[in-house]
A = this chain, B = another copy of it.
Amino acid sequence: MAPGVSNEKKREDEQSSRENSIHLCNPHLEKMKEDILYHFALGTGTHDFPALFGDVKFVCVGGSPSRMKAFIAYIAEELGLGSSGGDYPNICAGTDRYAMYKVGPVLSVSHGMGIPSISIMLHELIKLLYHAKCSNITIIRIGTSGLEPGSVVITRQSVDATFKPQFEQVVLGKTIIRSTNLDEELAKELLQCSKEINQFNTVIGNTMCTLDFYEGQGRLDGAICLYNEEEKLQYLKEAYDSGVRNIEMESSVFAAMCNLSGVRAAVVCVTLLNRLEGDQISSSHDILVEYQQRPQKLVGYFIKKSLGKV
Contacts and interface: CB of A to CB of B under 8 A. Distances in A.
A169 B123 contact: no
A231 B117 contact: no
The 3 closest A-B pairs by CB, nearest first: A114-B116, A126-B223, A26-B225
Interface stretch (A27-35, A74-82, A187-195, A301-309): A27-35
A235 B170 CA distance: 13
Interface residues of A, number: 68
A164 to B, nearest CB: 10
Interface in A199-251: 210-216, 218, 220-227, 229, 231-232, 235, 238, 249
Contact of A114 (B115, B122, B227): B115
B172 A235 contact: yes
A265 B18 CA distance: 51
A66 B282 contact: no
B130 A171 contact: no
- Protomer copies: 2
A228 to B, nearest CB: 8
A24 B223 contact: yes
A260 interface: yes
A97 B106 CA distance: 24
Given A96-B66, A123-B222, A281-B36, A212 B112 contact: no
Interface string A55-76: 0000000011110000000000
Contacts of A280: 32, 35-36, 38
B119 A116 contact: no
B120 A213 contact: yes
A97 B116 contact: no
A275 interface: no
Interface string A143-187: 000000000000000000111000001111100000000000000
A12 B187 CA distance: 63
Nearest to A96: B66
A91 interface: no
Which of A24, A25, A224 has the most chain B CB within a 10 Å cutoff? A224
A159 B221 CA distance: 28
A270 interface: no
A123 B213 contact: yes
